[in-house]
Structures are given as C-alpha cells and as structure tokens.
Amino acid sequence: MGLFLIGAGFNVDAARESCPVYGNSMYVGRYQMDCGYPLVSDVARLCFGLAQVPTGKSIEGLFSEYLDREDYAPLEKLVERLMEADFRLATKLASSDTSNCYRKFFDRFKGANFLTFNYDSLPEVFLFRLRRWYPHDGYGLPVEVELSPLQANQFGNLKSACLVLHLHGSFCVYTSEFEIRGNPSDSTAWLERLEGPRYAFDPDSISLCFAGYRRGMSATGRVPIEERVIAPIPDKAQELKQPFINATYAKACSLVRESGTLVAIGYSFNPYDRASYGPILKALCESGDRKLLVVSPQACYLAETIRAEYPSLQVTPIDKTFKAWAEDSFGY
C-alpha cells in the first residue's frame, strides 16, 4: 500500500494519543485546553455556537450562508482551531519518544504518498520530522520557500521522498497570479499578471513546525489564510478550478492511475463532495488494479455506496477507526 486518501477521520485520534495540553489563565489558573482536530459536531459548536446542526441543514450549508454575506468569522475560527491542533498536537506527537498510532503509520509506510482533503498539516509535520518531506517539492508542485543562506545549504538540495497533495488546498501555501512591479526611481507601481501562477510556502502561525523555513510574503500583500483553501460549501465544483488545486488534482489523478490501489482513511465520501472525490475514483477506475480499501467505522456502508456508483472498483471495507486499524497492525 503506497497511496493513501486522508479525510477528517484520520485526525480524530490525535487528541487521545497526545498527553493533555494545559494553558494558564489569569482568571482560572492552569486549565486543560481543548485543541483537538474537530469533527462535524465540534464545528457546529466551534464556528457557529450551536449545540448541533439544525434539522434540515448541513455544516456545508451553514458555511455557505455566512460566506454568501461575506462573513468569514466561522471559517476563520475553523482555521485557528486546525492550526492550533497542528502546533500543539501534531508537533508533540511527531517529536514524542512514546509510540502512537500516527508514528506507527508513518514508520510502516515509509515510501507512501498522501492525498488529503484536510486543510491541516499533520502529515507534513510528521514527515518533515522524519526528513521525508520538504515544502519546496513535497506538495507535488514547485513551491517557493524562504530560507537563510545557511539554511539553504542545509535544505536546498534535498528532495522529498513522500508527497502530500492537498486536494482542497493548504493553509500553508498561497497562489500569486499577479505581482507589483515598478522602477525604484518612479513613483508609479504596476500590477502585472504573471505568465503562470506562482505558489509560495507561508506556514503563518505554525512556522515553528518547520524549523529553518521562514514565512513567505506575496508581492501583492498578505494573502488571507481563508483564501488559500476551498471553504466547506455544498457545491465545490467552481472552487476546484483554483490554479493550485487544479494542478494538484492533475498530479493526484496521475498517482492514482500509476498505483492502482488507494487506501481511504477516515473519509466520508459525502454526496456533497462528489465533485471532489469523483475525479479520484474515476482515475482509479482507469488504473490496472482498481482496488480501493476504506478504513472507517462506517466502511461497510460506504463500500456498498461506492460499489453502486463505481461497479468496476474492488472495494474492501475495513470497519475500524484509524487507531484500531493501527493496533491491528494495519491488516486487511
């Protein structure tokens, strides 16, 4: 197994695998922080202040309503929570000497590549610590990075052994299609379209997760983090045309055809996301082996649904959480 498709369920066990994280408050003193990667029920509370998703609505629908009126507060809250989890949980688990399900996974599948619908950087944090992934080529596309001369000598000639392709975008990469140019002696600056889109690495608040790399700044100003990813809205078809995401899909589909076997971990195959996962499964149908393994507590149901829509695929359900699968030595 050398190619994995990662969904939100992959991250669920991170908080349980990590020791509790504590903060200090001048009002309550030392307290245990809630910084786990959120599930749908958590997102309802975290981003919208709701105990649960209202009847007849979906999380995607709620985000869409807010974004339609240009209210980015719920998305910004999601961004903050995921980056907090990367900083406090992923870094802690990746650097710990104690075994955990994620360490077992990345140790077991050393030469694997990863497709992810998640915005977070949990796989990159682990793989960077293991010296198997670097931002200049690890996203599957050439990405500009900021390094000091000393650090450039250290990282400049290294190549990623593993790719992490973010199919919905990454908080850490922004796209520039324009650049401000002008003569220093002239008071006028011009906004010019680049010949092709340029991608740059800007890890923002999780810069410390990637020691040696600095924040990259766009020549047209700071690119808000919420503009670097596809928001969780019902119809993502138009958003999938963004340059970085479009190019990432092309690379991902190529890897799927070459591999012939895809292992989906913690991905729900939600009908809302058919535009997202459809090209991946179509590419798998065009491969030689056409094998799909689904790791999820709902794997049997998902396998039946996928077989009905893609009858040429050989779908094997693994009815376990990610952690339970790791404890079973990743058997199938």
Q: Let me know if residue 37 belongs to a domain.
A: no
% the chain with pLDDT above 90: 65
Number of domains within the chain = 1
- Confidence at residue 35, expressed as pLDDT on a 0 to 100 scale: 83
Average pLDDT estimate for 15-35 = 73
- Confidence at residue 213, expressed as pLDDT on a 0 to 100 scale: 87
Q: How far is CA 21 from CA 33, 93, 314, in A?
A: 6, 12, 42
Check: CB of residue 176 under 8 Å from CB of residue 227: no
Residue 46 in this model has a pLDDT that exceeds 80: yes
Q: Which of 286, 280, 257, 254 is nearest to 267 (CA)?
A: 280
Q: Let me know if residue 22 belongs to a domain.
A: no
Average pLDDT estimate for 116-136 = 96
Residue 224 in this model has a pLDDT that exceeds 60: yes
- Confidence at residue 226, expressed as pLDDT on a 0 to 100 scale: 82
Average pLDDT estimate for 297-319 = 97
Q: Let me know if residue 87 belongs to a domain.
A: no
Position 142 confidence tier, pLDDT thresholds 50, 70, 90: very high
- Give the SS3 label for residue 146: strand
- Confidence at residue 212, expressed as pLDDT on a 0 to 100 scale: 85
- Confidence at residue 25, expressed as pLDDT on a 0 to 100 scale: 65
The residue with greater pLDDT, 33 or 265, is: 265
235-292 tens-digit pLDDT: 888 888 899 999 999 999 999 999 999 999 999 998 888 999 999 999 999 999 999 9
Looking from the CA of 89 toward its CB, the CA atoms found within 13 Å total: 27
Q: Let me know if residue 165 belongs to a domain.
A: yes
Question: Is 225 exposed, middle or buried (CB count within 10 Å of its CB: 0-12, 13-18, 19+)?
Answer: buried
Instruction: Give the lowest-confidence range in 13-27, 114-128, 156-170, 250-264.
Output: 13-27
Residue 43 in this model has a pLDDT that exceeds 60: yes
Residue 65 in this model has a pLDDT that exceeds 70: yes
86-102 tens-digit pLDDT: 999 999 999 988 899 99
Q: Let me know if residue 25 belongs to a domain.
A: no
Using CA atoms, how far apart are residues 120 and 22, in angstroms rounded to an integer? 21
Average pLDDT estimate for 113-128 = 97
Q: Let me know if residue 90 belongs to a domain.
A: no
Q: Let me know if residue 71 belongs to a domain.
A: no
Instruction: Give the lowest-confidence range in 23-32, 94-103, 143-152.
Output: 23-32
Domain containing 159: what range?
3-11+99-327
